[in-house]
Amino acid sequence: MIVASQDTAVVILSYNSRKWHELFLPKIVEQARQGYDVFVVDHASPDDTSEYIQHHFPYVQLIRLSENHGFAWGYAEALKQIQAKYYILLSSDFEVTDNWFAPIHAAMEADENMAACQPKIRYYRDRAYFEYAGAAGGFMDKWGYLFCRGRIFSTLEPDEGQYDTPADLFWASGGCFVVRSEIYHHLGGLDPDLFAHMEEVDLCWRMKNAGYKIGYVPGSTVFHVGGSIISYGSPQKTFYNFRNSLVLLLKNEKGGKLVWLLPLRLLLDGVAGLQLLASGQVKNILAIMRAHWSFFLSFGKWHRKRLTVKSLVTTRDEKGIYRRSIIMQYFVRGKKKFSQLDPADFK
């Protein structure tokens, strides 16, 4: 066990990430004087990432993993070895800014019931815009579809100060995920069986079911390259998005609702497949089919996880749930921006 010298450990999972470390690690290390230790977790990289870190950043604590079983597994293994009050899980393709750390740390210190939070996440390649994977905080609609302030489906908004207020979220982005370690470990941490994508949503849902809050801290800004682990729109990403979205529902949703929601989601997945067929994306259609097969072939495993999660449920915090269908609002009513949604429709 490595005990952080300060109360926060910034933990960067790295796989063949030397190019990102060359760009972004100097600033992360420079800003560490604000009050955190930096850990880089080499996720069995075949490149020279470890040697580069040791030579250029001797004050960064390096953890080597000898195997690679996916993004969630890598973090789950690394965090077993680090002791700190807070973890910040920071993807290697993130650029931090001056004073990025102090606001998120202060927010966690100010509210003991806040289990996790995220900063404002903007797009590295077009810096005026929010970034896809997190934007200004995550929400979920009544059918279990995920979206963000600043990003609904593929529509990204420019940051014009419209989301500069703190907010209670349903989920915080795993790309820059600030979490209270005691709660993280008590609730079982990231699920390695999800491999990649939505593992942070799964954890946040468990936190919400246990009565904790998830927050958005607009005073902190980071920039994300995006798509560096699994590229956006790839069949691999499609597979994990569709399979893991079903797993999240089975593990965390109320039993009475699950009876009708799972069949509905399977039907809507079929509609999504028809849309992909119309645009000739055959590989992504096959990925959806594989996702369904994977989900049902492992149904018993996912159900056993549900029973474990159910034992941790106390007073559910449902803030961040949208009472309507985001699909209907976006595709039928043409509401492409979060600010166009009626605040009264959120719990």
Render pLDDT for 200-213 as a digit per residue (tens, 0 to 9): 999 999 999 999 99
- Residue 228 pLDDT: 55
The sheet carrying 146-148 orders its strands as: 155-156, 151-152, 146-148, 138-141, 321-322
Q: Which amino acid is it at 166?
A: P
pLDDT confidence of residue 86: 98
The per-residue pLDDT for 230 is 59
Q: Give CA–CA dist 204/252, Å, rounded.
A: 10
Q: How far is CA 334 from the centre of its chain?
A: 26
pLDDT on residue 321: 97
Residue 88: closest CA among 187, 198, 205, 6: 6
Structure tokens at 269: 């997945």
104 and 28 in contact (C-beta within 8 Å)? no
Quote the pLDDT of residue 269. 94
Angstrom distance (rounded) from CA 90 to CA 32: 13
Helix/strand/coil (H/E/C) assignment for every residue in the chain: CEECCCCEEEEEEECCCHHHHHHHHHHHHHHHHHCCEEEEEEECCCCCHHHHHHHHCCCCEEEEECCCCCHHHHHHHHHCCEECCEEEEECCCEEECCCCHHHHHHHHHHCCCEEEEEEEEEECCCCCEECCCCCCCEEEECCCCEEECCEECCEECECCCCCCCCEECCECCCCEEEEEHHHHHHCCCCCHHHCCCCHHHHHHHHHHHCCCEEEEEEEEEEEECCCCCCCCCCHHHHHHHHHHHHHHHHHHCCHHHHHHHHHHHHHHHHHHHHHHHHCCCHHHHHHHHHHHHHHHHCHHHHHHHHHHHHCCCCCCCCCCEECCCHHHHHHHCCCCCHHHCCHHHEC
Strand partners, 152: 155
Distance between CA 29 and CA 81 in Å, rounded? Answer: 20
Structure-block tokens of residue 154? 């593929």
Strands 8-14 and 37-43: parallel
Residue 124 CA to residue 337 CA, distance in Å, equals 20
pLDDT recorded at residue 280 = 84
The predicted-structure confidence for 246-296, as pLDDT tens digits, reads as follows 999 999 999 999 999 999 999 999 999 888 878 889 899 999 999 999 999
Query: Tell me, what's the pLDDT at 277?
Result: 79
> How big is the chain, counted in residues?
347
pLDDT of residue 308: 92
Cα gap 308→172, rounded to integer Å: 22
* Predicted local distance difference test score (pLDDT) of residue 234: 84
- Each of the 347 residues of the chain gets a pLDDT tens digit; together they read 999 999 999 999 999 999 999 999 999 999 999 999 999 999 989 988 899 999 999 999 999 999 999 999 999 999 999 999 999 999 999 999 999 999 999 999 999 999 999 999 999 999 999 999 999 999 999 999 999 999 999 999 999 999 999 999 999 999 999 999 999 999 999 999 999 889 999 999 999 999 999 999 999 999 999 865 555 668 998 999 999 999 999 999 999 999 999 999 999 999 998 888 788 898 999 999 999 999 999 999 999 999 999 888 888 889 999 999 999 999 999 999 999 999 999 99
Enter the pTM of the model.
Answer: 0.95
